[in-house]
Each structure stands twice: as structure tokens, then as C-alpha cells.
Structure 1
Amino acid sequence: MRNQPLPEMLRTVPMFAALGAELLKQLAAMAEVSEVAAGAELCRQGALPEYLHILLAGQITLSGTAPDGAAAVVDILSPPGHFVLAAVLTQLPYLMTAQALTAVQLLRLDAAALRGLLAREPALALSMLQNQALDCRAMVRQVRDLKLRSAAQRLGCYLLAQVTDPLAHSAEFRLPFEKGLLAGRLGCRQENLSRAFAVLRTVGVETSGTRVWLHDIPRLQNYAAPDELADSMRETASGEAAQMVSRSGSSAA
């Protein structure tokens, strides 16, 4: 992907996939590709945003720090994740610090130039609005799960989300990162995560290090009760957004 022309690279990003060729060229003029080593800090809580970051390869952590210095992982992003759109659009300080969990490849779009283009291009504004709405929806779901689901149920939903075959009755995979980070991602302490895995053993979940076996997916689904409606609505919303952007671009032409 590194040798792709920038407009083609931008086309692979879901946020920009429905945009016209001319608009992609304008975005490319404010974009640059950056490759960063594992452990590097990409943006810091409290700083004003200079770029919209789009993750092309690798993984990053988003973490928050309290006034007393206590820190917690809020999310772990994989491609094609972006961060942090709300701060870029509002010109407000970052609420989280982003750090490269692995070596990463990023697209960085100049924040000020992007806001200027948004003011002139309704197709881009619609796409950004839709993506920000989906970001908000994902955060609401995370907060709701923290209040309504136990740690074991949240873990069960996460494990089920790693299964690629919707008809599978069993599955085997590796966790994409260590269990300490997974605990932060699920909003619990590592000892609580260990207890959650112990609970899930009763519904057919087996682990060894980062390797996971789901021996009875229907039973795990019955226990964890994943929110299938929200997932299907997100896919529908994404499709509708692409159609809206396409129509907007056609009208502007």
C-alpha cells in the first residue's frame, strides 16, 4: 500500500470510499503517509489536534489519564480505524493519548486544511458526519455494555466478534493483543478478566496464553447475548451514508 498513489490509498478508507475523484485529489494534497515504530506516541491528551490520523496497518492504543496519574486503556484500534475525528472537527484538545502498540502505517491529513475543505464540500461533510455518528454510537454501546453486561458477558461478546464464519459452531484463534490490554479494552482489571475466562469455561471457552478455542459457539452466544441488531443497523447506516455521499457528489457536479 505504501507505493499506491495517495488518491487510491484514500479510496481504500471507508470514510472516503464514496467520494469523487476530484475530491480525493484535494484530500491527497493535504495528506501524507507516516510509518511509526512500536511504542511511539502519536498524539497526547490535552494537545490540540494537528492531523486526522487514519490507521492503515498495525494497532494503536487510546488511553486516558486522570488528574492523579491513573491511566486506563479506552480502546485498541486496528485498520481502517481513525482518531480522533471529534477533536479535529471541533478544534478542541484530545481527550485521549494514542500510542503505537505495534509498528504502524498512518495517513495524516492536515486538520486545518481538512476543516476548510469540509466547509466547501457537502459530500465530504456528509461522510464525516456519518463517521462521527458511528463513532458516537460505538461509544454509547460500550458505555451501555459496561452498565448492563457482566465482565464475562462482555468478554464473551468480544470473543464472538473474532469469529469470521457466522455459521460456525466452533472456532480457534489468537487474541490480537495481550490479556492485560484486553482487560482495559473491556473496562475491567486483569484479575477480573481471569475470573471472566473462568466463567466462560462453563460455556465451552478454552484458552492457553493468547490462543482461544470456542467449542460451543451457540452456547456462548446464548450466555453473552451479543447485540446483533446494533451490528446490522451499523452496516445499514454505512450503506445509506455511501449512497447519500454519492448523491451529494452528483448534485454538486
Structure 2
Amino acid sequence: MAQIATAYRDEAPIAAHLESQPLFRGMAPELRATFIQAAQMQTLSKGSILFLQDDESEWFYLILSGWVKLFTETMDGDEAVIDMVSNGHLIGDSAILEDGIHSFGAAAVEPVTAIRLPSSLLKQAITDDHKTALAMLGSLSRHRKRQSREIESLTLQNASQRIGCFLLRLCNPDVPMPLTLTLPYDKSLIAARLGMKSETFSRALNKLRTETTLAIKGSVVTISDLDELSGYVCSACSNEFPCRDLHS
């Protein structure tokens, strides 16, 4: 098992990152300072485990850079990827509302920078401070909306449309065409994230290429017409492009 490479303290950037989060922004300065003092900045190597399913919750994390895989294990031992998260996402915080046990695991799929904070401190803050409790409820609500949108995608969109939707979320609509982007992580992980087997992903990707002007070479994607791609994708969705990302 890969280990955390480095853990260190530097309160200035930690404070700035925490203050950018809705969960901490509304806290009294004295309470927020307690989190800043207890926080640790970390660098994690590829493959590092942040926590495993059914582990007791000791820490929760704010991801600053890199990608983290959230996963569960099926009864027969297979791994199911439930999400891929990157900068700006809090993970592991909801475990304090689930008897202090993580309901999923988290692992770095590339080098990651994160801030870790004690779960016990968050539990105490929610108990003692109603603003923190309300902020936590708001975070859970945003996560629920994001999950609902994922369920809608799995239910209403075909495999090619789900891949197209994934690509659209990586796009900046204000960038002049053609737009070139690099897939953020391995295609096998993208397939797992979208609820597909690798062979299904390959077939759906080929179909997307033939039905749009999308060009893909390795991990590089070129989009010459965003309106065409969004029209193909969003016809089976209740949202219109660009849809606002809902961070958990």
C-alpha cells in the first residue's frame, strides 16, 4: 500500500484554503482558527490510501490538487468506483453523521495535495455551533443534488451521451473553438466512473466520434463545435450546457 509522502504545516495557505470553503467561511474566527491550527497540509503519492470503507473516521480531507478515487467493494470483492474528485472537494466529512465509520474508501490516482483535519473537531463544532451545523447541511444538500444528477444521467442518457456529458464538464464555453483538452485520468477509470465496462466505453466512444465531429487521439480530445456536442448530449437531460458543477 502506498503511503503518504509528506505531512507539514504552513498556516497561511491552510487558512486561505479553508476560508474558501462554505463549511468554514461562516464560522466564528475563533472556531475557524481551531481548525487551522489542527490542520495538516499533505502530499500523497499515486496509490496512497486516504481511508478505507468501514474504517473509523479519524480525518476528513480538502483536496487541493490531483484526483482522488472514491470506491466501495462489492460482496464478491470487486471494486466499484462511485466518484472521482479533485480540487475544492471535501471528502470523509459525512462519516461523522454515519456512526463515525467511512461508507466508502478513498485513494489517490495520481500525486495529490490535500489538507487533512480531525473528524472529532468537526463533530464537536457541529454540536456546539449552529452555523457550522447549517453549513454542514448545505454541503450535504449540494452533494445530494449532485448525486441526483448522476442518477438522472445513468437513467436517461445512453453510454455515448454519458461520455459526452463527462467531456462537456471539462469544457470552458468561453474558449474559442476548436477546444483541445486532455483527459484528466486513465480511460479505464473514466469508464468505471460512468458505470461502464471498458469494452462498453470503447464502443460508446467510437459511436460518439462517428455521430459528432469530436476527435480523440490517445488522451487528447479536440472539440470543434460545442453546440453540436451539447445538442447530442443534453437532449436526454433536464439541464442545459453549461451546467453548474455542484461540489460536495
2:143 and 2:246 in contact (8 A); partners too: no
SS of the residue 2:103 aligns to:
coil
Does 2:84 align with 1:76? yes
Distance 1:197 1:233 in 2: 23
Say how many residue pairs are matched: 236
1:59 and 1:102 in contact (8 A); partners too: yes
- Alpha-carbon deviation of 1:203? 1.0
Which protein is richer in helix relative to its size? 1
Counterpart of 2:4 in structure 1 is none
What are the within-5 Å matches in structure 2 for residues 40-189 of structure 1?
40-166=48-174, 168-189=176-197
Deviant stretches of 4+, over 6 Å: none
Distance 2:245 2:68 in 1: 26
Write the deviation string for residues 50-69 of structure 1: whole angstroms up to 9, x where unpaired.
Answer: 11111122211111111111
Counterpart of 2:240 in structure 1 is 228
- Alpha-carbon deviation of 1:148? 1.2
Distance 2:36 2:246 in 1: 27
Distance 1:187 1:113 in 2: 35
Distance 2:190 2:241 in 1: 24
What's the C-alpha RMSD, in Å, of the aligned pairs? 2.4
Distance 2:109 2:206 in 1: 27
The verdict on how the C-alpha distance between 1:157 and 1:168 changes in structure 2, with shifts beyond 3 A counting, is farther
Does 2:214 align with 1:205? yes
The verdict on how the C-alpha distance between 1:162 and 1:98 changes in structure 2, with shifts beyond 3 A counting, is same
- Alpha-carbon deviation of 1:133? 0.9
Distance 1:176 1:2 in 2: 28
Counterpart of 2:226 in structure 1 is 217
- Alpha-carbon deviation of 1:169? 4.8
Distance 1:169 1:11 in 2: 35
The verdict on how the C-alpha distance between 1:28 and 1:155 changes in structure 2, with shifts beyond 3 A counting, is same
Structure 1 unaligned runs (5+)? Answer: 239-253
SS of the residue 2:53 aligns to:
coil
1:52 and 1:85 in contact (8 A); partners too: yes
Distance 2:171 2:88 in 1: 19
Moved more, 13-22 or 173-182: 13-22
Distance 1:230 1:221 in 2: 9
Write the deviation string for residues 154-209 of structure 1: whole angstroms up to 9, x where unpaired.
Answer: 11111111111347553111001111111011111111111121111121111011
SS of the residue 2:16 aligns to:
helix
Counterpart of 1:251 in structure 2 is none
Distance 1:61 1:154 in 2: 19
Q: Aligned to 1:39, which of 31, 34, 47?
A: 47
**TM-score normalized by the length of structure 2:** 0.86
AA in 2 matched with 1:211: V
